Amino acid sequence: MRNQQATQLLFEMSRPGRRAHRLPELQGHAATLCESLPAEFKADQPPPLPELAEGDVVRHFTNLSTLNMSVDTHFYPLGSCTMKYNPKRNERLSSLPGLIDVHPLQDARSIQGLLEMMHELQHMLGEISGLRGVSLQPAAGAHGELTALLVAADYFADLGEDRKVVLTADSAHGTNPASAQMAGFSTKTVRSNAEGLVDIADLRAKLNEQTAVFMLTNPNTLGLFDSQIREITDLVHEHGALIYLDGANMNAILGITRPGDFGADLMHFNPHKTFSGPHGGGGPGAGPICVREFLADYLPGPVITRTEDGYELTTPERSIGRVRSFFGNVGILIRAYAYIRTYGPDGLRRVSEDAVLGANYLLSKVKHMLDVPHGDRCMHEFVASASRLKKEKHISAMDIAKRILDFGFHAPTVYFPLVVDEAVMIEPTETESKETLDAFAEALFRVVDETEEAIQQAPLSTAISRPDDVSAARKPILRWTPPQQ
């Protein structure tokens, strides 16, 4: 009973002369000023946007929303994405007047309450990371990576050291090497060993006086905490290089261990993962970074400082400048602040413990259906492999992902990290009940038991099934165009 009419494209629903939003007519003197722009700047007519009534718009977007899975409606065991519950109180609190309607260039004196909150968040992130220099400016995790690498680049330039190489792990997020490239570095990849941890011999071989930064994810994308972490960070520091921690997996270690304590010099947080900022269909997120004190002078400005007269916005002395306009993704940062306040220090630790518990519980069930190459212990997520299933039954990781949708679960992450063949990456988070995890495991059990013929038709219950990605990329149609008359 899908409403086909309402889910046509806006442009197909458009009727000339329909209107929704109207402005009051200008009166008196103002009305005489409408034509004050010279003709040479003006278009002959306004852009050809669709013309709709308000009811059209509401029904259209409401119906479209029902075609999405979401955290509010489904379990998302998406490895690397930390799809935890998005607290409703955070939505209300971040929308209060005095927060949602503040202009970014207002005088600091007129926004002391907001600055107090963000200053406290700076402190919180410094405490959770163990790294005291904090910038809230970057807009996303990858943006934080780039920002931190620009900090490192300036730091080494000031030292007069010519270090132009960034090392990344082969299990790293693809953003790591891409960020390094953008900051003017070349990259080399450090191999993982058979256990899925950093291959120390390979790291040693690739470290030299040209190395600027080793970008590390810990726990790594296999969900493993690298037990050699002290050895790794000491080794990198001995060569005069810095350790960058990709904070995508911080949900595993809140209050348990701190990047600053195990040797990281710079890191980013993903508040939209760790601190429950809603993903919004792919954004907005945020990517605040934390650095050691000796790097704090390089952070982008403005940062919030506290003085006797109240809170001020200042730019650090040797700042790399700006990486975006204005202050940062404040709306997401406010939600992160509310989240940290909700749990407190012991609560945050419990969050990570439950995340680790849930992942290990699911691992203990999944290992009977799929191979889990890196052992039967993990932190907040684990990576199974459909490799054997593919050889034996021609069922791939993608087939599993598509079929699980029919059982009312979002798919796990597949084909990442690249170090595992036919990877199926599962992260339950702490906000899923044991019953949900049991139901998911049961569904997975039924999926891997199916025949090749059945599974390759999947999904069967969704609005569409197996879109043709190849022709989408080969002959891109990236916008609607009016049908040829």
Q: Is 88 helix (H, G, I), strand (E, B) or coil?
A: helix
* Position 332 contacts other proteins (CB under 8 A): yes
Contact between 253 and other proteins (CB under 8 A)?
yes
Q: State yes or no: residue 453 binds other proteins (CB under 8 A).
A: no
Among 309, 478, 484, 485, binds other proteins (CB under 8 A): 478
Contact with other proteins (CB under 8 A) among 411, 423, 426, 448: 411
Q: Does 244 bind other proteins (CB under 8 A)?
A: no
Of residues 331, 371, 407, 443, which one binds other proteins by CB under 8 A? Answer: 331
Which of residues 203 and 351 has its CB atom nearest to other proteins in the complex?
351
Question: Looking at 6, 178, 200, 439, which residue binds other proteins (CB under 8 A)?
Answer: 178
Query: How many chain residues bind other proteins (CB under 8 A)?
Result: 201
Q: Which residues contact 287 (CB under 8 A, 6 or more apart)?
A: 138, 139, 140, 141, 142, 143, 144, 145, 147, 268, 269, 270
Nearer to other proteins, 306 or 350 (CB): 350
Per rule CB under 8 A, is residue 240 in the interface with other proteins? no
**Least distance from other proteins to the Cβ atom of residue 223, Å:** 10
Q: Which of residues 188-207 bind other proteins (CB under 8 A)?
A: none
Residue 321 binding other proteins, by CB under 8 A:
yes
Q: Choose one: 54-62, 193-201, 234-242, 442-450; the region binding other proteins (CB under 8 A).
A: 54-62
DSSP state of 483: P
Measure the CA–CA gap between 138 and 34, rounded to whole angstroms: 40
Query: Which conformational region is residue 171 in: left (phi greater than 0), alpha (psi within -120 to 50 degrees), or beta?
Result: alpha
Closer residue to other proteins (CB): 125 or 395: 125
Closest distance to other proteins from the beta carbon of 244 (Å): 13
In the bound complex, what is the minimum distance in angstroms from residue 410's beta carbon to other proteins?
Answer: 6
Token pair in block for residue 142? 């990858």
In angstroms, give the least distance from the CB of 207 to other proteins: 18
Q: Does 42 sit near other proteins (CB under 8 A)?
A: yes
C-alpha span between 209 and 103 (Å, rounded): 46
For residue 314, state whether it binds other proteins (rule: CB under 8 A).
no
Residues 365-394 touching other proteins, rule: CB under 8 A, are: 365, 377-379
* Contact flag: residue 305 with other proteins (CB under 8 A): no
The CA-atom distances, in angstroms, between 17 and each of 5, 14, 51 are 19, 9, 7
Q: Which CB, 392 or 473, lies closer to other proteins?
A: 473
467: Cβ contacts below 8 Å, ≥ 6 apart: none
Residue in 131, 134, 148, 150 binding other proteins, rule: CB under 8 A = 150
Which residues touch 440 (CB under 8 Å, ≥6 apart)? 75, 77, 362, 409, 428
Residue 146 lies near other proteins (rule: CB under 8 A): yes
- What radius of gyration, in Å, describes the C-alpha atoms of the chain? 25
Instruction: Identify residues 58-117 at the interface with other proteins (CB under 8 A).
Output: 58, 60-62, 64-74, 76, 78, 81, 83-87, 89, 91, 93, 96-107, 109-114, 116-117
Please count the other Cβ atoms lying within 10 Å of the Cβ belonging to residue 357. 15
Ramachandran assignment for 133, one of left (phi > 0), alpha (psi -120 to 50 degrees), beta (any other): beta
335 binds other proteins (CB under 8 A): no
According to CB under 8 A, which residues from 22 to 41 bind other proteins? 22-23, 26-31, 33-34, 36-38, 41
CA 366 to mean position of chain CA atoms: 26
Torsion of CA 13, 16, 20, 21, to 10 degrees: 130
Strands laid side by side in the 382-385 sheet? 382-385, 423-426, 413-414
Least distance in angstroms from the C-beta of 389 to other proteins: 20
Cis peptide before 219 (omega within 30 of 0): yes
Q: Is 179 helix (H, G, I), strand (E, B) or coil?
A: helix
Tokens 């969704």 correspond to 462
